[in-house]
Structure 1
Amino acid sequence: MQAAVLKAFGSPLVVEEVPDPVIGTGEVIVDVVAAPVLSYADEVFSGARRYLLPPPVIPGCGAVGRVRTVGPDATKLRVGDWVFCDPTVRSRDDAVMPDIVLQGWSARGEGGQRLQGYHRHGAFAEQVRVPTENAIRIGALTPEEAAPWCAINTLLVPFGGLLAANLQAGETLLVSGATGHFGSAAIAAGLAMGAGCVVAPGRNAAVLADLARRFGDRVRPVRLTGDAAADRARMMAAAPAPIDCVLDILPPSVDAAVARAAVMSVRPYGRVVLMGGVGMLGGDDLALPYPWIMRNAITVRGQWMYPPEAVIRMVGLVRAGLLRLEEYAVTAFPLAAVNEAVAHAAAQGGPFRLAVLRPGAEAPQPSAVSR
């Protein structure tokens, strides 16, 4: 099969013939129809993000495709089923504290690296082998629909945070990092889950205006000034009711003071979920006042990725029309143009924009238009 291979960090990907994946018990082989190219893929492949992804490796985080072969222990999946290939692979020998790897993307810890030694190659290829439980049926599609469905790869990340926050219908949500790739997805997911209002702080006035245009009065944009106390007051004032929960999904480049101002806008007895990268590249860590947390009974928790059932729940939101994949403007590239796709994702990535690889496609093409 044809695949894009990362030979070394800092080198372009090389498209070449590689052996087809070989199936084992508890596994599925999927024909990749579309694979998302994340907006920061160039930073991963250059080595700037210091991800544990030892080359040579076929990268690629998630895919939409059709089942080619099922293992002997599969009871529901059938050849030809349309599936989402969930890149979040968990070890099967510890149900309480499983090691986790993002297939074709990153690993964490010694256990994760051992797991990555087997579930190594990702979806920038004509075929991908995934654990049976990671090939999740999404219902019938046309090949043209596969590319927009890659958007759930982005949406699932903040969706996991909102599930961890136990977001309830009618509640007021604040998304810290609302103008980013994952933050804007958090707004769409939160509204689909029934949030009564989403407060959307950010510095980019054009993106804030676009969020209001897309989603109407249920989104309350707040332009950040850099004055933490003033920004916190503005966020609280923008909400029509006390802020029930805060999801922070800021990137590593943002100062901790920005996250702190958003976190401390939550009401007494409120919930805070941390999913961003504050402090990962150095700088101050997120420091929250002990008395404020204790006296206001604030729940603060971290969340990395999402639980296994999240994919099924998100598919339900999409199929019910509550979550519109049509919001995403998708540009598709053939596998042979993988380096152009990576460059495009870096230059054009942002809210509701997505680059995908389409094995067999002939030229870059828009496959969906944002409304």
Structure 2
Amino acid sequence: MATTESLPQSHRALVLKSPDQPLVVEVRPLPQLTSGSAIVRNLNVPLVSYSRDVWSGKRGVPMITPMVPGGTCVARVAAVGPDATSLKPGQLVYVHNFIASRDNPDELVLFGFTSGFSPGTQSMVAKEWRDATLAEYSKVPLENCIPLDETRLLGSPEQGGLGYTVDELAYLGFPLVAYGGLRDIDLKPGETIVIAPATGQFGGAAVQMALAMGAATIIAMGRNTQALQRVESLDPTRIKTLQMIGDWEKELEALKAFGPIDAFFDISPREAKDSSHYKSCISALRRNGRASLMGGLGDMTIPGFAMVFGNLQLKGRWMWDREHIAGFMRLVNSGQLKLGPRGGNEITGKFGLEQWDAAFDNAAEKARLGQMTLMIP
């Protein structure tokens, strides 16, 4: 039999009936537990800067409505299916929203954001994973629940803990995305990496992640000099900054002044597809250098000469692989990846489900390095 705690019959959820209609808070029956799933009580849900653009249809991603939107969250396990072997009710978990089909790992979808682009993901979302985390309770795949060591993460430093709060743990999803790309290109301790752009939520998290992974020098690029100063303040001895000016040759000349560059990480928004930094950063790589492309979402200019004669490795990456999670959590639990104010992070606002409109505005306006808007179901 399934393992459960005492659960309510109903709960409150934020519902998207159609992208052209305002979201509404509804009282709904509690999700039904099935094999391979858990019911979790959502404690906080971080918003990405483009939340409104996605759920209003502006981004043009396919969605099956009505749906409960959402994303990653920190939660407590309320019930587990009969096939669960380690998760227990009451356990604190980080729920990520990157769902893979169990019988076809090539079918991948972002739970709460989109129904995907293939018949397989459309079916998976329509039949099982339509409703995400902007609700008091959610049904989620067992494998998407990452156990959190409460004693280590929430305990006081005097007792060997890291002293974080539950809300500070909500930030984990930003560096986890970056970790997927950095692991892909095997970033090693002591190496030099250029990260561009480096001032937003995900680019900034890549800087934090590269610090935790032991990069000796991180060259952070961006257009806003004030935002670059904020990035540099994380570790002025290891982080160097360079302004993106739209002239790839001048950017390349400036990059060469830093010496040999081992790796390049990009997580640009779609608006940056014509940016000069692709060409300058790839051209600046040493022979046998590596590049991870996690952003863009459009065609870009790649310097073929540098690629071929530099023997460069260029890898695309969407999110992460399941086996990456254990390594990521080791960096979290060891304290190498710093969270909260000591890691340069800031919770810019907390909002209830009824305050979704203000929450979306706050998320869009405050989306620099380490900034996070939370919804509290």
TM-score (norm 1): 0.90
Please tell me whether residue 324 in structure 1 is matched to residue 338 in structure 2.
Answer: yes
Q: Secondary structure at the match of 1:122?
A: coil
Which runs of no fewer than 5 residues in structure 1 stay unpaired?
A: 280-284, 360-371
Alpha-carbon distance in structure 2 between the residues aligned to 1:348 and 1:256: 23
For 2:249, the equivalent position in structure 1 comes to 229
Correspondent of 1:259 among 268, 273, 278: 278
Please tell me whether residue 57 in structure 1 is matched to residue 67 in structure 2.
Answer: yes
The equivalences for 1:113-192 within 5 A come to 113-117=122-126, 118-140=128-150, 145-192=165-212
**What are the superposed Cα offsets for residues 213-233 of structure 1, whole Å, 9 maximum, x if unpaired?**
122220110012221110122
For 1:368, the equivalent position in structure 2 comes to none
Q: Secondary structure at the match of 2:270?
A: coil
For 1:40, the equivalent position in structure 2 comes to 50
Correspondent of 2:354 among 323, 336, 340: 336
Residue identity in the other structure for 1:112: T
Alpha-carbon distance in structure 2 between the residues aligned to 1:139 and 1:26: 22
The equivalences for 1:270-285 within 5 A come to 270-279=289-298, 285=299
Total equivalences in the alignment: 350
Q: Secondary structure at the match of 1:268?
A: strand
Residue identity in the other structure for 1:126: E
Please tell me whether residue 110 in structure 1 is matched to residue 119 in structure 2.
Answer: yes
For 2:315, the equivalent position in structure 1 comes to 301
Runs of 4+ with deviation above 4 angstroms? 141-144
**Alpha-carbon distance, 1:278 to partner:** 4.7
Q: Secondary structure at the match of 1:344?
A: helix
For 2:106, the equivalent position in structure 1 comes to 98
For 2:302, the equivalent position in structure 1 comes to 288
Please tell me whether residue 355 in structure 1 is matched to residue 373 in structure 2.
Answer: yes
Residue identity in the other structure for 1:258: H
Cα root mean square deviation, aligned: 1.7
Conserved 8 A contact 1:30-1:65 = yes
Conserved 8 A contact 1:334-1:358 = yes
**Alpha-carbon distance, 1:12 to partner:** 2.4
Distance 1:231 1:45, change over 3 A: same
Conserved 8 A contact 1:9-1:47 = yes
**What are the superposed Cα offsets for residues 66-112 of structure 1, whole Å, 9 maximum, x if unpaired?**
00001111111111010011100101113xx5200111112232222
Q: Secondary structure at the match of 2:204?
A: helix
Residue identity in the other structure for 1:347: E
**Alpha-carbon distance, 1:292 to partner:** 2.6
Q: Secondary structure at the match of 2:66?
A: coil
Conserved 8 A contact 2:283-2:303 = no
The equivalences for 1:197-208 within 5 A come to 197-208=217-228
Residue identity in the other structure for 1:203: R
The percentage of aligned residue pairs carrying the same residue is 33
